[in-house]
Structure formats: structure tokens, C-alpha cells
Amino acid sequence: MRQPMARMRPMAEEPWLDETQQRAWRAYLAMSKRLSTHLGRQLQRKFDLSPQDFEILVNLSEVPGRRMRAVELGRATQWEKSRLSHQLSRMERRGLVCREAVPGARYPEVVLTEQGYAAIVRAAPTHAASVRAIFADALEPELLDRFAEACAAISERLEEHETDPC
Amino acid sequence: MRQPMARMRPMAEEPWLDETQQRAWRAYLAMSKRLSTHLGRQLQRKFDLSPQDFEILVNLSEVPGRRMRAVELGRATQWEKSRLSHQLSRMERRGLVCREAVPGARYPEVVLTEQGYAAIVRAAPTHAASVRAIFADALEPELLDRFAEACAAISERLEEHETDPC
DNA sequence: AGCCATAGGTTGACGCATCAACCCGAGCGC
DNA sequence: GCGCTCGGGTTGATGCGTCAACCTATGGCT
């Protein structure tokens, strides 16, 4: 989160985005800010989980043995290793996960504790229901498709630009 | 940012989101995460500004006198007062803004410094160009419209739900 | 064997976000 | 006048995100 505002006609004469583009951009910014705030707050208040906690718990809970090397968890979440390490430390402190040495292996595995499993089982239904109520059911099937299409197109652009020497 | 993942078929048989919905949700999550990362990183690396710095600078630069009471800035950005206060303190330390007492008035005004103004003038064109290249130009006009429509629909849902007793 | 590069992981520092607590002056009721 | 509440604003604690620095087995090279 964190969505920067864009100044659309900054200090200059010619607009860099036309009216339609500007409306779309502002609508997107407002929506995404609100959406993540809403979902995050609900998780926090009802289940004492941050969205980040939730993401880790989801990934661990889906895998057999509910355990994973940190590096796999990193691949699954697309998080940087240091971010992940910090997050796991905090979650370990709270008893949601623990790092368990594997005999003979160099690196420990991250294991979902009973408590962590209980937490995700409690939170997931409500969260999914919210996503459905606010996101999925807000859009006609056809509009939902176009929305997904637009997201994919933007992601594609991003991939092109990310390879650029910035 | 911060976009929580959703678990779509959590521990249960029946899916809470159908295939289409799930695809759309995942596409949105991936896109929005990448987009804010990309724009934020560009601002930070090229101009040494966080997206938050940028948003404050934009708002101040648009107003006559380039000065504003904190409470107005709060309305403009929709930030909580404490978040705003912290942010202004950091920006003041760096010389981008300053808090200036107004004789006879109770509260000081937040003033854009020369340095702050120079920073936004430097950064804005590139930022707007990025928004255009990645977001606006990625979508055909018609798709852009539908996208905006979808965003608006979701925002509407959110407003309904936010008034609920959570 | 000895050396080095690299990958997986941790740590510390700092900026950012949120919550709760607090401060204080203006306006109001009495 | 006296005391209230209330709104604008600050502060501190804690969690989160990123960057840079660091640690250390392993695996490759010679």
C-alpha cells in the first residue's frame, strides 16, 4: 500500500493525462487505498492478524505438513528475504509459527503451530466472504472479466518497464 | 499498501469465489502490488522522495501561497492527523516544508519551502509520465472506462460496508 | 587441500502507519 | 467566573518495509 498520488497537469500547459485517463487513475487510487484499508482493518480487529500475518499463514496452511523452507515461502509470497525474516521473527514471538531445525539439513523449516493453524481457520472464512461481498459481487461477470483483463494488461506493462535500466 | 492475500477455498469443499472471480482477484492483487512498488521505487531512487512525501508536496504546491493549515492538508490527503504530524516532522527535518506560526492565529501553517518546491517540480513530470506509460496507455479507451467503472462500483460497496458496525 | 563465490538467512537502522494517550485553547452552559 | 467538552495537534510505542551489512555452509575451481 502505499499509493502515490499523481499530479496530472503539473506546472505545465499540456495535460499529461486526458480527462478519461485522469478519472480512471483517481478512481483506482481511491478504491485500492480503501480496499486494502478495509480488509486489513477487519483482519486486525476481528482476528488480531495483520494482512502480512494472514498471507504467511495462508501459504503455510496450504502445504502438506504445514512447513516450508523460508526460501520457498519467499518465492510464494514474492517477498524479500529480509522482510520475510523480520516477519517470521515477529510471528514466532507470538507463537504463530516456529523455526524448526531439520537434522542433517543446513537450514531450518518454518512450521505452522497449532495456534497459527487455529488462527487461519478462524479468519479465512470471514476474509473470503468480504472479498466476495466487496469485490467479486460488486461487478457483473462481464465487468469482472474486463477488470481482470485490465489488471493483466497493466501487469504486463510493468514487467516490460521493470526490466529497463532504471 | 499492503494487499492481503485471500484464500479462496479455505479448508472447505465449496469454493467461496468461482473461477472467474478468483482470477480477477489474484490479477488485481498482483497488479496493485507491483504498481505501487514500481512508482514508489522510481520516486525514491530518482528523486529521493517517498510516495508520501510526494503526496504532501503535490497538495501544497497546488494551493496559492503554497501554504495550508494541517487540518486542510489532512482533508486533502484523507490521512489521520497523527500520521500527518509524523510525516510533516520528518519532512521538516529534511527542509521540504516548515511549520510557520501565524500571528494572531492559534495554529501554524505548513509551508512549502523553496527546496520542497524544487523537489516537486523535478519529480512530477517523470511521475506523471510513468502513470501514463504504465497505466493509462496500457488500456484502450473503452477498457479504461470499464476499469474506472469497476473501481467506482467497488468503492461504492466499500462505503456501504464502512458504515456497518464492524 | 586451499581458496573463493554464492545463496540462504539474520541483523540494525531508519522511514512509515496506527493506536492510544496526552496537551491546550476556544466555545459553551451554568 | 468556572468548569466542560471538543477539535486541532503532538508524542510514544509497536508493527511493518527496505536497504545495506554481515554471517556461514556449500560447491566449484585450481
Size of interface A-B (CB pairs under 8 A): 270
**Do A35 and B158 make contact, defined as CB atoms within 8 angstroms?**
yes
C1'-nearest nucleotide to the CA of B91: C15
Say whether pLDDT at B166 is over 50.
no
Q: Which residue has the cell 494487499?
A: B3
Tell me which chain B residues have a C-beta less than 8 angstroms from the C-beta of A38: 158, 161-162
pLDDT in tens, A16-31: 778 888 889 989 988 9
Mean local confidence (pLDDT), B16-26: 84
Strand D nucleotides, any atom under 7 Å from protein beta carbons: they are 7-13, 15-21, 25-26
Chain B nearest-CA residue for A157:
B134
Whether A3 and A29 have beta carbons less than 8 Å apart is answered as yes
Set of cell numbers at residue B136: 493509462
Q: Which residue has the cell 496507455?
A: B137
Give the other-Cβ count within 10 Å of A101's Cβ.
10
| A14 within domain boundaries | no
CATH number assigned to the domain comprising residue A121: 1.10.10.10
Question: Is the sign of the CA dihedral B153, B158, B164, B166 positive or negative?
Answer: positive
C1'-nearest nucleotide to the CA of B83: C17
| A115 within domain boundaries | yes
Q: What residue type is assigned to position B162 of the chain?
A: E
Give the other-Cβ count within 10 Å of A14's Cβ.
5
Whether A88 and A96 have beta carbons less than 8 Å apart is answered as no
Whether A150 and B146 have beta carbons less than 8 Å apart is answered as yes
Torsion of CA A163, A164, A166, B1, to 10 degrees: -40
Q: Percent of chain A having pLDDT more than 90?
A: 71
Tell me which chain A residues have a C-beta less than 8 angstroms from the C-beta of B152: 27, 31
Lowest mean pLDDT among A160-164, B7-11, B62-66: B7-11
Q: Which of A162, A81, A3 is nearest to B50 (CA)?
A: A3
Report d(CA B87, CA A88) in Å as an integer: 28
| B84 within domain boundaries | yes
Q: Is the pTM of this model over 0.95?
A: no
> Band of the pLDDT at B15, cuts 50, 70, 90?
low
Bridge partners (DSSP) of residue A61 are: none
| B57 within domain boundaries | yes
> Band of the pLDDT at A11, cuts 50, 70, 90?
very low
Report d(CA B28, CA A32) in Å as an integer: 10
| A11 within domain boundaries | no
Pairing of strands A109-112, A97-100: antiparallel
Lowest mean pLDDT among A125-134, B10-19, B51-60: B10-19
Mean local confidence (pLDDT), B45-55: 94
Which DSSP string corresponds to B130-157? HIIIIIITTS-HHHHHHHHHHHHHHHHH
Set of cell numbers at residue B19: 473461477
Look up the domain containing B105 and give its range: 42-160
CA closest to D26 C1', residue: A106
* Nearest CA distance, A126 vs chain B (angstrom): 10
> Could you give the number of structural domains in chain B?
1
B83 touches A at CB < 8 Å: no
pLDDT at A89: 97
Say whether pLDDT at A165 is over 60.
no
| Kind and range of the H or E run holding A74 | helix A70-77
pLDDT at A20: 85
Report d(CA A3, CA B31) in Å as an integer: 12
Which DSSP string corresponds to A89-147? HHHHHTTSEEEE--TT-SSPEEEE-HHHHHHHHHHHHHHHHHIIIIIITTS-HHHHHHH
Set of cell numbers at residue A124: 479465512
| A3 within domain boundaries | no
Report d(CA A162, CA B5) in Å as an integer: 23
pLDDT at A159: 83
A80 touches B at CB < 8 Å: no
C1'-nearest nucleotide to the CA of A89: C10
pLDDT at A163: 60
| B129 within domain boundaries | yes
Q: Which of A60, A65, A158 is nearest to A116 (CA)?
A: A60
Lowest mean pLDDT among A11-20, A65-74, B51-60: A11-20
Indicate if CB(B23) is under 7 A from strand D. Answer: no
| B6 within domain boundaries | no
Q: What residue type is assigned to position B113 of the chain?
A: T
Q: Percent of chain B having pLDDT more than 90?
A: 68
pLDDT in tens, B72-95: 999 999 999 999 999 999 999 999
Bridge partners (DSSP) of residue B111 are: B67, B98
